[in-house]
């Protein structure tokens, strides 16, 4: 009981601090740029931690630990592909994204094609971002369930309320500060406490090797088909995620965005391997768990000294909260900027748009929490989100940057038809199949190219005016 009180108090204090930061952000946000993109002033030394915190959430921590528990070191592939995807953004498009000074994916699609492509793309990206928030709320509740032994439903409600409050209050300013703190906690907890202490508990790397089958140390132990599936879902998906792009928009220069994304990708690869190894350690200590997602929280609570275990668990929760808050803000930003502003009131003040975004966070957050109670499964929710995102809008988004012959007719046809194909394929083949995303990508590419060729050439606006790479006035 004393141990629970100490560890629980540490986690509770951490939650209280996050709400406090949310209130600070509320007092500091003076413009729409502050609320949506933290004033576009985030330097490199802060950008790398906060971008890392965004991508390394429940899937990368609790999820990768569970995969490590089941499959060994190859469970790291999920997080490795996330890292590769973020690094690819840095190499391919981060400079253009920073120069565009946009708020959303919908902005990009509208500037390159038309408002209908922007709206439909934003709606899909908004559903994706909201689904990511749902998965993180479930993951936070899983950690709280392991700590307090209380049923999942009340833990999901608690997690949802806390994330919604501090995100709605301060917007991107609050999210940036909390993510910066959360990155240090999760890095300290994973690399300096959980990993070394866990290895000591099982007799080091040699003890790990002696206890587990050789397949647990194979990079393809999880199966080549699963590795390919993770590439399609997570690598391609992270490259067009609104939560990731919105972080790019916060960079103080294109150079910060480029270097920061590449460095974040490298960090994510090491993080994925570390959490998979922690899952392997948990397998030795707690064989036969019904729910592999409990492997990491249980290991921490059992083998780490009281007090430190609460700190590490707070680090795990930090990883999930940092992704949840960014995803929730991303969803609110998309619906505020690409639906409300575009179709309801296009001439309101910054204060009005900020208020609408806060209200949307409350509404969407309540819906996300209720859905989390209903779904209760992180993997299925993530699969749904990434299938829709990658299968429907990956092709037109990257086509906007790399093919001058693309037209708005090709973009909107590609998005709508492939979205129907993805949903239909998921109904037909199920969530566990790779076919929905493959079918969606193939149909999207065919529609995009064929319709663009038939309706081309694009107008001058589409072809030359949508992006001005020389326009770096904000950064000078």
Name the burial class of residue 329, with classes exposed (0-12), middle (13-18) and buried (19+) by CB atoms within 10 angstroms of its CB: buried
Least confident stretch, 19-33, 86-100, 398-412? 19-33
pLDDT(277) > 90: yes
Enumerate the H helices of 403-468 as residue ranges. Answer: 408-429, 435-455, 460
> Cα dist. 225→126, 213, 415, 433 in Å?
29, 21, 26, 10
For residue 301, what are its two tokens?
């609570």
Query: Could you tell me which of 384, 386, 371, 456 has the C-alpha nearest to residue 137?
Result: 371
Show Cβ contacts of residue 317 under 8 Å, excluding neighbours closer than 6 positions: 11, 14, 140, 143, 144
pLDDT for 236: 92
Kindly report the pTM of this predicted structure: 0.86
Average pLDDT over every residue of 388-409: 89
Mean of the per-residue pLDDT values of the chain:
84
The residue-averaged pLDDT of 256-277 equals 95
**What percent of the chain has a predicted confidence (pLDDT) above 90?**
32
At 459, the pLDDT band (50, 70, 90 cuts) reads: low
Class of domain 1-379: mainly alpha
CB 365 within 8 A of CB 380: no
User: What pLDDT shows up at residue 309?
Assistant: 75
Confidence at 468, pLDDT banded by 50, 70, 90:
low
CA-closest candidate to residue 112, choices 474, 403, 431: 403
Q: Distance between CA atoms of 407 and 340, rounded to whole angstroms? A: 25
Q: Which of 265, 235, 276 is nearest to 66 (CA)?
A: 276
At residue 456, the 3 state secondary structure works out as coil
Cα 355 to Cα 332: distance, rounded to the nearest angstrom: 11
Nearest to 85 by CA among 120, 62, 59, 103: 59
Q: How does pLDDT run across 410-448, given as a tens digit for each residue?
A: 999 999 999 899 989 988 988 777 888 999 999 999 999
Q: What number of other Cβ atoms are within 10 A of residue 472's Cβ?
A: 14
All residues at 6 or more sequence positions from 223 whose CB lies less than 8 Å from its CB, including other chains: none
Give the per-residue pLDDT at 9. Answer: 79
Q: Which residue has 């397998």 as its token pair?
A: 283
Angle formed by the axes of helices 308-335 and 115-148, to 10°? Answer: 160
What average pLDDT does this structure show over 76-94? Answer: 95
| pLDDT for the residue 141 | 82
Percent of the chain beyond pLDDT 70?
Answer: 92
Could you report the per-residue pLDDT of 178-205, keeping only the tens digit for each? Answer: 788 878 888 888 898 889 988 998 999 9
Q: Which of 180-189, 248-257, 273-282, 417-426 has the lowest mean pLDDT?
A: 180-189
Whether the pLDDT of residue 1 is over 90: the answer is: no
Helix (H, G, I), strand (E, B) or coil at 255: helix
Question: Among 166-175, 179-188, 391-400, where is mean pLDDT lowest?
Answer: 166-175
More confident residue, 207 or 58: 207
What is the per-residue pLDDT for 453? 94
User: How confident is the model at residue 100, as a pLDDT?
Assistant: 86
Residue 144 CA to residue 285 CA, distance in Å, equals 20
Task: Delimit the domains of the chain by residue range.
Answer: 1-379
Distances (CA, A) of 432 to 226, 229, 276, 292, 427: 10, 10, 21, 18, 11
Residue-level pLDDT at 379? 60
Give the pLDDT confidence of 118-169 residue by residue, as tens digits.
888 888 888 888 888 888 888 788 778 777 777 878 888 888 888 888 778 7
Residue with tokens 């505020």: 336
**Angle between helix 308-335 and 295-303 (nearest 10):** 150
Average pLDDT value for residue range 352-367: 90
């Amino acid at each position: 009981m004393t141990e629970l009180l100490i560890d629980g108090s540490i986690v509770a204090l951490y939650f209280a601090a996050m709400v406090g930061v949310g209130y600070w952000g509320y007092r500091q946000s003076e413009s729409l740029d502050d609320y949506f993109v933290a004033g576009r002033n985030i330097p490199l030394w802060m950008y790398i931690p906060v971008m890392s915190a965004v991508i390394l959430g429940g899937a990368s921590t609790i999820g990768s630990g569970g995969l490590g528990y089941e499959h060994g070191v190859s469970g790291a592939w999920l997080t490795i592909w996330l890292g590769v995807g973020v690094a690819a953004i840095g190499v391919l498009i981060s400079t253009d994204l920073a120069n565009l000074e946009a708020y959303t994916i919908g902005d990009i699609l509208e500037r390159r094609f038309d408002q209908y492509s922007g709206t439909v793309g934003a709606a899909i990206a908004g559903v994706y971002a909201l689904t990511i928030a749902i998965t993180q709320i479930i993951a936070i509740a899983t950690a709280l369930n392991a700590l307090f032994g209380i049923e999942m439903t009340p833990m999901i409600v608690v997690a949802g309320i806390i994330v919604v409050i501090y995100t709605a209050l301060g917007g991107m300013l609050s999210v940036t500060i909390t993510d910066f703190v959360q990155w240090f906690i999760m890095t300290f907890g994973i690399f300096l406490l959980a990993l070394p202490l866990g290895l000591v508990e099982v007799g080091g790397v040699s003890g790990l090797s002696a206890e587990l089958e050789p397949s647990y140390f194979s990079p393809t132990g999880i199966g080549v088909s699963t590795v390919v599936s993770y590439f399609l879902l997570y690598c391609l998906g992270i490259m067009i995620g609104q939560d990731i792009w919105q972080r790019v928009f916060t960079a103080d220069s294109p150079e910060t965005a480029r270097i920061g994304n590449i460095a974040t990708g490298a960090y994510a690869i090491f993080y994925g391997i570390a959490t998979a190894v922690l899952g392997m350690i948990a397998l030795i200590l707690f064989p036969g768990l019904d729910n592999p997602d409990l492997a990491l929280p249980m290991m921490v609570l059992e083998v780490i000294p009281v007090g430190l275990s609460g700190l590490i668990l707070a680090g795990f929760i930090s990883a999930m909260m940092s992704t949840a808050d960014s995803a929730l803000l991303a969803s609110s930003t998309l619906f505020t900027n690409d639906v409300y502003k575009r179709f309801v009131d296009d001439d309101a003040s910054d204060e009005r748009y900020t208020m609408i975004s806060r209200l949307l966070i409350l509404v969407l957050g309540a819906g996300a929490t209720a859905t989390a109670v209903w779904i209760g499964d992180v993997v299925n929710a993530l699969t749904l989100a990434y299938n829709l995102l990658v299968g429907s809008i990956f092709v037109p988004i990257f086509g906007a940057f790399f093919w001058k012959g693309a037209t708005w007719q090709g973009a909107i046809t590609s998005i709508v038809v492939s979205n129907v194909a993805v949903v239909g394929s998921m109904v037909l083949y199920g969530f566990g199949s790779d076919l929905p995303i493959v079918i969606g990508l193939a149909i999207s590419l065919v529609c995009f190219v064929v319709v663009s060729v038939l309706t081309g050439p694009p107008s001058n606006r589409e072809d030359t005016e949508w992006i001005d790479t020389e326009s770096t006035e904000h950064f000078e």
